[in-house]
Amino acid sequence: MAKELAYVLINPYTILKSRTGGVIARLLGRTDQELIGVRLFSPSQRLVQEYAELIRTQDVEDEVDIRDGNKEAVRDLVAQYVLENYGPEPRTGRCRRVLMLLFYGEDAVHKLRDEVVGHITSLSISGETIRDTYGDCVLDKSGKVRYFEPAVLVIPNRKAARESLELWAKYSDQEAGILEDVIKYPKGVKPEKVLVLIKPENFQRPTSRVGNIIDMFSKTGLYIIGARIVQMSVAQAMEFYGPVKKVLQEKMKPAVADRLKAAMLEKFDFPMPEGVIQNATSEIAPLFGAHEFNKIIKFMTGKDPTEVSEKEHALQGEQKCLALVYQGRDAVSKIRGVLGLTDPKKAAPATVRREYGQNILVNAAHASDSVENAERELKILDIAKNDIRPIIQNFFSQKVESLR
């Protein structure tokens, strides 16, 4: 079967209630589809109206138990939900957030809907699918829908894929990216931005880890205002982690000195004078620090910087990260408190690195350590860049090999 492109839209209410992590945990843990794009939208009324109109024209393959559960009634139910819940709030004009996750794989449209998202129904209480757990369809005594929250929206069938994807692609420049002004704060509050990178080891196989980590960060009460799948080039990684290189070289000195003492004693059978150790340490520590730095670059990009040419430094890397931009009061300290210390063994219980980290290198996630560094890191990785539109355009122009 040919590979397909499909999306899952995480609804504004799901995001507002901090259920984003739980939804993503289900999506990545229970499907073999590849997550290839992520973008946060703030839909205008125009996009909302076009999307609702499109929904009313598409066939619905859901098995529903609602009264008048025919295709037209279900289409109207979903379309009306979009009109009421996706656009700016009528009373305040406040924009809402919709998170698009773009997947690629065999039979992607049906697999995501049938195996992970689930159907629109008021009967299921199993908690097996996303809608079982996070959605609601409540009927009154007469069998009419009294309350409806589907948690996420998906492409209803294979025939609807192209027009649905191209509609969102059309608006993905002007109505998506880093949503600086969507959240309204009390007077006098100066919100901070912080970048979180969920690291490559969390994408090596289908797992709920990514969603679980997002769930842990949701404890901060901060708002997600941007998201992007990042595959760092060697050049980006070297710039991103550049400040770490000098720190590593300095930190390595005691470890290098201890190793030199032990090695020289073993090989020469007499203790070396302290001056000899110091001189050797000053020569070797920078080399060792550079070696450890290169290990970081290779881990984050999948490419050893010592083995690729200068021209290849700018090419997209082989390892995938999920970048999230959080915003709110004291965002840096709150995020880093949940993140935990660099060394998972020393991190506090119930922190991300303690729960999911393996060692100092493979430690689950990165977070900016200051507001200034957050701005620097956001710029290096170009988090606002729109990957969604070119992916969709390339797919439908048959340039499948270059989706990312």
Rounded Cα distance, 58 and 71, in Å = 9
Q: Please enumerate in sequence order all residues whose Cβ is within 8 A of that of 69, keeping only pairs 6 or more positions apart, or say none.
A: none
Token pair of 263 as six digits: 């090695």
Do residues 389 and 402 touch, judged by C-beta distance below 8 A?
A: no
DSSP character at residue 176: B
Token pair of 70 as six digits: 């025919």
Rounded Cα distance, 113 and 135, in Å = 14
Token pair of 15 as six digits: 């995001």
366 is catalytic: yes
Rounded Cα distance, 114 and 219, in Å = 30
Rounded Cα distance, 326 and 377, in Å = 13
DSSP character at residue 115: I
Report phi then psi at 104, rounded to 5: -135, 130
The amino acid that residue 109 corresponds to is V
Do residues 18 and 120 touch, judged by C-beta distance below 8 A?
A: no
Neighbours of 72 (CB within 10 A): 10
Do residues 177 and 388 touch, judged by C-beta distance below 8 A?
A: no
Report phi then psi at 352, rounded to 5: -60, -45
Q: Please enumerate in sequence order all residues whose Cβ is within 8 A of that of 27, keeping only pairs 6 or more positions apart, or say none.
A: 8, 35, 101, 103, 112, 116, 130, 211
Please provide the DSSP assignment of 323-386 as one string: EEEEEETTHHHHHHHHH--SSTTTSPTTSHHHHH--SSSS-SEEE-SSHHHHHHHHHHHTTT--
Distance from the Cα of residue 310 to its chain's centroid: 29
Rounded Cα distance, 183 and 401, in Å = 38
Catalytic one among 110, 291, 313, 366?
366
Q: Please list the active-site residues.
A: 366
